[in-house]
A and B are shown apart, each in its own frame.
Chain A
Amino acid sequence: MSNIRQLKERWMHYFFFGIATVSITILLMISLFLFAEGLPIFKIVSVKDFLFGEFWYPTAEPPDFGIYALIIGSLAVTVISAIMSIPLGVMTAIYLAEIATPQVREFVKPVVELLAALPSVVIGFFGMVIVAPFLQNILDVPTGLNVFNASLMLAFMSIPTICSISEDAIYSVPTNLKEASLALGATHLETIVRVILPASISGISTAVILGMSRAIGETMVVLMVAGGAAMIPLSIFDPARPLPASIAAEMAEAPFRGDHYYALFATGIVLFLFTLIFNLVADHIAHRYRQVGEASL
């Protein structure tokens, strides 16, 4: 009997190991493919000219492969969306975990999480058809398809991520920490600011970075609402072209294994490195500032 049980145990072990290996292998092969298709461009332009070249004219004669303006465009929409989404996301999380009554919490939390389920093309369409004309009329800017609009739409998309993960972190701060603080005469607000937030800061940081990494990789929204001008935006109401928008707009027609094709894959590598760095930082924070003792997640 025990032999069969052990066999079963071992069999399950290998089965799950196999499943895990498959997903890692696929990921590895995609990365390999990405690098194999992207690196040949550096035979034509140097890494420095590619990253810091100001002009992106991939089909001109002679072509210019410079993605500096696209990188700045990506960073601009990500940073501005973070400025909007971090306070909103974290404060919603504090409200849900600490202040809201259980009934409100039961209702609001699923709704916020539902926001994450909205397809990005729907958010993009909303930005293009509703928000862009609104911005044009209210602010009298030349075009509503700009960095501000794109950041706003990206903020919509990262708030659920930030809120949901932060809320878990805040909620899991042990009650005795909170009770100790209140017992010392601190008000509820003081307890939140001085005790609960510091205790859950690593969870909140992870949430913020995952939210930002979602924003930088998002394609459909920036393709539809960022405007797509391959120039360095000088104000938040200027159009920009983030990296994913450029790849999505041009890949369909780029000649297979031509210079333009390689350049787009190299753009993909840059994007991949950005999200990789974001995830490594999130991982690092989660480990380095791991909540110890009672406050551990």
Chain B
Amino acid sequence: MKKQYLFAVLITLFLMCGTSFAEAKNIVIKGSTTVLPIAQKVAEAYMKANPGVSISISGGGSGNGIKALIDGTTDVADSSRFIKGKEVKLAMERGVYPVPFAVAYDCIVPVVHPSNPVKDISMDQLKAIYEGKIKNWQDLGGPKKRVVVISRDTSSGTYEVWESKVMQKGRVYPGALLQASNGAVAQAVAKNKYAIGYIGLGYMNKDVKPLTVNGVVGSAETTLAGTFPISRPLYMFTSDWPEGEVGKFMNFVVHPNKGQKLVGEIGFVPLY
């Protein structure tokens, strides 16, 4: 709610700037809420470095962002998935050629209490735990205690990754505890010996123990190598190869010392 109001205020401010300084260059960014923090952070830095430019950012989901790109109502579409065939076809019909830029990677790691003897878990086991089918740590080689399942609110980007990579078509069972942020999940797991949760790689701390998934350690290296199963690239799409201000902005986003440094700071895995 707060965030949305903030955006509304920001957008209004930008619109006002736009009318008062007809010369100002505008960039419109729309789409995935997962990519939103990246877009926000990078846009702030970019506007600071280039005072004449105003960037307006809004969420709405990957699908809406790409739709806006096809309709020509946005310059950059944030997306937490690759563009679908259907969307490409529609874009071509409208004469728009979407160009993908990978801007960061998302890496979600299952975590348990440091005292838990379990070290490795398979994707099938994770799915069964979150569907409520595995209820006891005994089935996973741990103590004879009930598993306390901790999940995220269904509209978060982290949950979205979990749902698409781990749950596949399954649903997280209603008995799973809900926490509203990565930090809260880490906190809840750190305080409960028999809990399991999942957090973004950037939120890992020493009070929780990361599990290896199918024997693979969740890290920036395994994410970039594509071997860690609960990870995905995040994209920004532009219509045609970006030129002018949008081109400069995209260069800024993927620059190792500029945009990518910020990406790492807010808990995502940078490209390099």
- Measured between beta carbons, the chain B residues less than 8 angstroms from A241 are 178
Q: Interface readout for A27-63 with B: 1 if CB under 8 Å, 0 if not?
A: 0000000000000000000000000000111111000
Are B155's CB and A254's CB within 8 A? yes
Q: Chain A 158-195 against B: per-residue CB contact (8 Å), 1 yes, 0 no?
A: 00000000000000000000000000000000000000
Q: Which of B146, B148, B180 contacts A249 (CB 8 A)?
A: B180
- Chain A CB within 8 A of B214 CB: no
Contact of B60 among A57, A69, A132, A255 (CB under 8 A): A255
Q: Which residue of B has the minimal Cβ distance to A125?
A: B187
Between B155, B175, B180, the greatest number of chain A beta carbons within 10 A of the residue's beta carbon is seen for B155
Number of interface residues of B (CB under 8 A): 35
Instruction: Give per-residue flags for A51-94: 1 if the beta carbon is below 8 A from chain B beta carbons, else 0.
Output: 00001111110000000010000000000000000000000000
Q: In the complex, what residues of A have CB within 8 A of residue B60's CB?
A: 255-256
The winner among A59, A144, A238 for most chain B CB atoms within 10 A is A59
Pair A145/B33 contact, Cβ less than 8 Å: no
Asked if A230 and B146 make an inter-chain contact with CB atoms under 8 angstroms apart, the answer reads no
B171 shortest CB reach to chain A, Å: 6
* Chain A residues near B160 (CB-CB < 8 A): 59
Contact B191 A133, beta carbon cutoff 8 Å: yes
Tell whether A250 pairs with B195 under 8 Å between CB atoms, given A69-B174, A227-B178, A231-B174: no
- Which residues of the partner chain B approach A60 to less than 8 Å between Cβ atoms? 154, 171
What B residues does A249 contact at CB under 8 A?
153, 178, 180
A236 interface contact, C-beta 8 A:
no
A250, B174: Cα distance in complex, Å? 16
Residues of chain B within 8 A of A69, CB atoms compared? 174
Given contacts A250-B153, A254-B155, A255-B60, contact A231 B175 (CB under 8 A): yes
Q: Are A251 and B1 in contact (CB under 8 A)?
A: yes
Q: Which residues of A contact B154 (CB under 8 A)?
A: 57-60, 250
A residues contacting B by CB (< 8 A) are 55-60, 69, 128-129, 132-133, 136, 142-145, 223-224, 227-231, 238-239, 241, 245, 248-256, 260
Given contacts A223-B180, A245-B178, A249-B153, 4 further A-B pairs with CB under 8 A are A249-B180, A252-B3, A253-B157, A254-B155
